[in-house]
Chain A
Amino acid sequence: MSNTWYEPQTTGSRSGVEVKVQIAQFYNRHRPIINAIGPFLLLMAMVAVFALINPRFLSWINLFNLMRQSSILLIVSTGITFVILMGALDLSVGAIVTLVAISSAVLIRDFDVGAVGIAVAAAGIGALCGLANAALVLRLRLPSFVATLGTMTILGGVSTWISGGGNVFFQSPNLTWIASGSVIGRIPNSGVLALLIFVVASFVGARSHFGRALFAIGGGGLTARLSGIDVLRTKAVAFVVSGMLCGVAGLLLVARTSTGTSRIGDDLLLQAIAAVVMGGTALSGGSGGVHRTLTGVLVIAVLQNGLNIAGVHTYLQIMVTGFIVVLSVTITLDRSRLAFIK
């Protein structure tokens, strides 16, 4: 299928056009490799740069810190990958995380719920939010962009309501241990949990019927339906899974800080989407995979951690992050399949 963007001119080409065409052809030919290796190379480059700036970057303490910091993003990004694979978007992920964090905090503080109960509640609330998203998209047939935009706002309001506008402090040694304790050596539990979830999700994405259905729907919804795949059910499950994983992330978040704040999940949205895209999953769905998201998450986590260690000013950090994210996406985005970028 010809990619008209790069179709060479038939009548007299200026050198500028020729060079552009050559670059484009090189890129096209090697695109699969660039997509697969690009983020990894970027990651290695960043690690090298930060290690040079401050050798403390590579210390065990920092690496464990890194694990802790990135575990939440990893879980959320894993969840949203399922949704993106099928060609949809879940903009409410940050809001769900916030909601679960605050609800958990309140449940512990006011109702003295135990650690196990909280875990169940967290996953449950997250799943319910996912179900709401699914209902809006599948029953009311709203585009996922709008539906999740709406739930994002509504859930934000609910979070503020529950928290009474302020922060919710609580004490729960069990919970803190889940996040910051260590079962294996000195490796933080949150990191272990996140990796576990990631591995299971990757497996599900690559090898389960559900995962296969996601790819089929993202790559050709009509074909999927005609081949007997239950499109409605698959889509619903994807939203619920995303919500549930956000719930787990919210639990971890609140466990780490022992506080429930109103805006705790806000940054996650951009970072999660960027991580997924950077890893090589196409925004239009149908290609990539859950296993790819790890690279994207690491790029962002390393970036933030590294900038911190390098002593870069907070404000500058935010600016650089936004910039680097767009930059990495530029390299790894698979444009051949986006007929019209919207």
Chain B
Amino acid sequence: MSGVPTPIYTMRNGSKRFNGISVVEGIDLDVFPNEIVGIAGENGAGKSTTLKMIAGIHTPDAGSMRLCGKSFRPTSYTKAVEAGISMVFQEQALIPSLTVYENIFLSLEANFANPIGIVDRRAMMAVSERHFKDLGLDFIDPCRRTGDYAFHDRQMIEIAKAFVLAEYFHIDHPIILLDEPTAAIGEREIRILFDSIRRYRRRASFVLITHRLAEYVELCDRIYVFKDGRNVGEFAGEQISEQSLHRVMVGRTRDDEYFMEKRQLKLVGAPIAISVKGLSGHNVQNVSFEVRKGEILGIGGLVGCGKEAVAKAIVGFEPFPSNGTIEVGGEALPLRGRGKAAIVRGMGFVPKERKTEGIVPYMSVQANMSLASLPLVSRLSGFISGSRERILAEKYINRLRVRCKGPTQLCQFLSGGNQQKVVIAKWLARKVQVLVLDNPTRGVDVGAKQEIYGVLRDLAEEGVAILLVTDDLPELIGMSNRILVMREGEIQFVCNAPAENKPTEQELVQHMV
């Protein structure tokens, strides 16, 4: 970096909408040569979408991009790769059954093939080997099956691929995008990855998304902070701390009314609705807690801390090889058939992935709402009554203010927030006694969020015990009677959160990181 540096890539006013909802808006972004840039933000802040716009996977609805000074409008990821931008995906865009060099050159073999179409394997292997050596990755054998290599090694292969393709397309200085590269690897591998990135930065620029704030601080030259789809700050890596980063990411004037804290119940002597003792297994260790009737217990922690696993274990999401007991209304839930038993005992689960776990998109609103309580809408004969189902649906459409064309509209056409309301209605119809929610307001617009909070308050008043697992800190603090913070599978911290004395985000975050 010398003189007045010009950015190698810029985005101005980048915007993207999905289904009419704006995911990112007005994004201004620069990437300079030999630089490591970080994009920080909460879940849903738009980081991944922005990265995909840079990589040509999403086309911006507005704004412009420039690469090396020229206008840049890739129509596909392949075009972006040809221009020098590669992405290392979270789910890894590698085919496990193919060998390493095949994966690197997939779709490019045309240039290594003789007229008959047989590819020159030796040339491909040689090129791959040369690059691996240059990058200090000698231990990777281009001729081995990609699937044989561990996850973190495959990450390195993807990075190497970016360099190989850059050379092939005569790009001096590629840009490599990393989408949560550390999410699934251990400490040691993270060290190796970071060392490699630092070494490679003399030949490329990197843009990084991660969930661990410490990593931004440690690795990045510059950090952009996104919040609610907008770029709210740009910081030099050396000048910021994790704490301040977090504050910028998340800090918003918490509106007391937003979470209706005044409605928070003071529970005196309320009976215990659900009791968990010594839950272990699947990265979770010795988790114990109780939730009383009418109480909202919030569980928070960083991604991967185990809070979601706890929720899933309780509702019997999958056969969870767990020790420990879970008691609902005094009776323990069995290990096999836990899901069914939980529902029978009056537990409901609002999952994180509503499209695949919460609703059946091709069924109508009323069919989805009645899914867990079919006997309720059936006549004596055992057949479902369309009219009863419709009445049930209309009742909850009104109560939850579900915005839809009517009970017979297919759920796939509803917005995320309304779909979530349908999921909640499904359990309300059953008059559940315990409701477990996993990030219920993820991807939900602000108005619908508040409506959902109102419903939760209503339920609490009716005596329902609520377990709220969430990444959203203000929500965690604002809604809960009590808060558990988990870290690496264990409960690190428990505190009360009475309406008049809520803990600050600072206090909680320090136990999370």
- Whether a CB of chain A sits under 8 angstroms from the CB of B131 is no
208-229 of chain A: CB within 8 A of chain B: 208-209, 212, 215-216, 219-220, 222-229
How close is B328's CB to chain A, nearest CB, in angstroms? 15
Q: Find the residue from B343, B344, B362, B367 having the highest chain A CB count within 10 A.
A: B362
Asked if A230 and B340 sit within 8 Å, CB to CB, the answer is: yes
- Does chain B have a CB within 8 A of A180? no
Question: Are B371 and A216 touching (Cβ within 8 A)?
Answer: yes
Please provide the chain B residues from 66 to 92 with a CB less than 8 Å away from any CB of chain A in the complex. Answer: 73, 75
B368 to chain A, nearest CB (A): 9
* CB <8 Å contact, B384 and A212: yes
Q: Which chain A residues border B384 with CB–CB below 8 Å?
A: 207-209, 212
CB of A227 within 8 A of CB of B372, answer yes
B418 vs chain A, min Cβ distance (A): 15
B498 at interface by CB-CB < 8 Å: no
**Contact B374 A220, beta carbon cutoff 8 Å:** no
Q: How far is the CA of A225 from the CA of B371 in the complex (A)?
A: 10
B489 touches A (CB below 8 Å): no
User: Which residue from B343, B363, B383, B386 sits with its C-beta under 8 Å from A219?
Assistant: B363
Q: Is A11 an interface residue (CB 8 A)?
A: yes
Q: Is the CB of B383 within 8 A of A208?
A: yes
**A11-B73, A212-B384, A215-B363 known; A222 vs B371 contact (CB < 8 Å):** no
A256 within 8 A of B: no
Set of chain B residues within 8 Å of A11, measured between Cβ atoms: 73, 75
B401 to chain A, nearest CB (A): 22
CB under 8 Å from chain A, chain B span 416-448: 426
Interface centre among A220, A225, A229 (most CB of B within 10 A): A220
Q: How far is the CB of A200 from chain B (nearest CB, A)?
A: 11
Interface residue B458 (Cβ < 8 Å from any Cβ of A): no
Q: Is the CB of B412 within 8 A of A225?
A: no
Chain A CB within 8 A of B26 CB: no
Pairwise interchain contact B59-A220, C-beta atoms closer than 8 A: no
* Closest B residue by C-beta to A206: B384
Do B361 and A220 have beta carbons less than 8 Å apart?
yes
- Contact partners of B371 in chain A: CB under 8 A: 212, 216, 223-224, 227-229
Name A222's closest neighbour in chain B (CB-CB).
B357
Q: Cβ of B73: which chain A residues have Cβ within 8 Å of it? A: 10-11
Question: A10 to B359, Cβ gap below 8 A?
Answer: no
Q: Which of B19, B340, B386, B412 meets A228, CB within 8 Å?
A: B340
Instruction: Give chain A residues whose Cβ lies under 8 Å from the Cβ of B351.
Output: 226
Q: Tell me, yes or no, whether A287 is within 8 Å of chain B by CB.
A: yes
- The reply to whether B412 and A286 form a contact with Cβ atoms under 8 Å apart is no
Question: When chains A and B are docked, how far (Å) is the Cα of A1 from the Cα of B360?
Answer: 14
B142 on interface, CB distance cutoff 8 Å: no
Cross-interface CB contact of A10 among B75, B349, B374, cutoff 8 Å: B75
Residue B474, interface by CB 8 Å? no
Q: Interface of chain B, helix or strand or loop or mixed?
A: mixed
Interchain nearest-CB distance for B289 vs A (Å): 22
Mask: chain B, 4-24; 1 = CB below 8 Å from A; 0 = not: 000000000000000100000
Contact A227 B378 (CB under 8 A): no
Contact B382 A223 (CB under 8 A): no
Determine whether the beta carbon of A212 is less than 8 Å from that of B367. Answer: yes
A223 to B19, CA, bound (A): 23
CA distance A216 to B372 in the complex (A): 11
- Decide if A223 touches B359 in the complex (CB within 8 Å): yes
8 A Cβ contacts from A1-57 to B:
1, 9-11
B356→A222 contact, CB < 8 A: yes
Residue pair A223, B356 in contact (C-beta under 8 Å): yes
**Interface pair A220/B356, CB less than 8 Å apart:** yes
Could you tell me which residues of chain A, from 190 to 209, have a CB within 8 Å of some CB in chain B?
203, 207-209
In the complex the two chains form, what is the Cα distance from A77 to B360 in whole Å?
25
Decide: A215 and B360 in contact? CB cutoff 8 A: yes
Distance A216 CA – B368 CA, assembled complex (angstroms): 9
Question: Does A335 lie at the interface of the complex (its beta carbon under 8 Å from any beta carbon of B)?
Answer: no
How many angstroms from the CA of A229 to the CA of B375 in the assembled complex? 12
B44 at the interface (CB under 8 A from A): no
Contacts of B340 in A (CB 8 A): 228, 230
CA distance A337 to B412 in the complex (A): 11
- In the complex, are the beta carbons of B360 and A223 less than 8 A apart? yes
B339 within 8 A of A: yes
**Chain A proximity mask over B33-52: 1 for CB below 8 Å, otherwise 0:** 00000000000000000000
Q: Is A226's CB under 8 angstroms from B317's CB?
A: yes
In Å, the complex CA distance between A217 and B315 comes to 19
Do the beta carbons of B374 and A223 come within 8 Å of each other?
Answer: no
Q: Nearest Cβ distance between residue A53 and chain B, in whole angstroms? A: 40
A228's nearest neighbour on chain B, judged by CB, is B343
Least Cβ–Cβ distance between A322 and chain B, in angstroms: 30
Q: Shortest distance in angstroms between B392's beta carbon and chain A's nearest beta carbon?
A: 14
State the A residues within 8 Å of B (CB).
1, 9-11, 203, 207-209, 212, 215-216, 219-220, 222-230, 286-287, 337
Told that A219-B363, A226-B317 touch, could you supply 15 new A-B pairs with CB distance under 8 A? A9-B75, A203-B383, A208-B383, A209-B378, A212-B374, A215-B362, A215-B367, A216-B363, A222-B357, A223-B357, A223-B358, A226-B339, A226-B351, A227-B372, A286-B363
5 sampled A-B residue pairs with Cβ under 8 A: A9-B75, A207-B383, A215-B360, A220-B356, A286-B362
Closest 4 CB pairs of A and B: A219-B360, A228-B343, A220-B360, A207-B383
